[in-house]
A and B are shown apart, each in its own frame.
Chain A
Amino acid sequence: DQQVKQNSPSLSVQEGRISILNCDYTNSMFDYFLWYKKYPAEGPTFLISISSIKDKNEDGRFTVFLNKSAKHLSLHIVPSQPGDSAVYFCAASGPGNQFYFGTGTSLTVIP
């Protein structure tokens, strides 16, 4: 039962353009959402998060948008840089402090 879904396994964008990564969830009890970035042979590292009481959170080049009615969130990276090339995981958690992850989207930023 996949509670968090990332339907795009890969994405390629040109350097300087916007990267948009999408994520959908099914459990309405989730109230905290996170994005993680993963390089090969390393553990995932936290990138940005958003609470369900907000619909947008910005941190530098990274912005996460949350649409609770659609159970959808997205990560925008502007401008995209070659160093952003990695696998991005969406995660969600609820009152039990359990974190559920999507299957990841592999982003390639082309110089």
Chain B
Amino acid sequence: KAGVTQTPRYLIKTRGQQVTLSCSPISGHRSVSWYQQTPGQGLQFLFEYFSETQRNKGNFPGRFSGRQFSNSRSEMNVSTLELGDSALYLCASSFYPIAKNIQYFGAGTRLSVL
């Protein structure tokens, strides 16, 4: 079974630009969560989607948004990039909503904002 696939793996952007990251969950998984990982803040929850609906949202500004498609694939978008958005963005899928199930993480997208 293929794992969680995130594209692209690396991205370099400049301040003010916007970026879209993609995540394909494990086949059969309908829940997709996004996390931001930085050395200073650790792993921070961004949002979770289940059956195309946002179920949970973390404490991030409105510049961070996401969506989920009918095939469970998910995208997250960051608009008006800031230097502080440089981070590893991890996507995780699970079979159920995360309260009950294991998170399977993708390899992540490393975003550098210059």
Chain B associates with chain A: no
Chain A contact residues, CB within 8 Å of chain B = none
